[in-house]
């Protein structure tokens, strides 16, 4: 159970990092246009 919980936490963390990177790139694109 603890292992499952850790896995979910890692997935959430990587998803948050991905969203932040996407958001930053998206904002840069808007600035360029």
**pLDDT digits over 1-33, tens only?**
566 778 888 899 999 999 999 999 999 988 876
pLDDT (0 to 100) of residue 33:
64
pLDDT (0 to 100) of residue 3:
66
pLDDT (0 to 100) of residue 2:
60
Sign, Cα dihedral of 22, 13, 10, 2: negative
Q: Give the integer Cα–Cα distance in Å for 18 and 3.
A: 23
The single residue listed with the structure tokens 């991905």 is 18
Q: What's the pTM?
A: 0.58
């Amino acid at each position: 159970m603890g292992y499952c919980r850790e896995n979910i936490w890692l997935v959430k963390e990587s998803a948050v990092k991905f969203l932040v990177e996407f958001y930053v790139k998206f904002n840069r694109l808007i600035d360029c246009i």
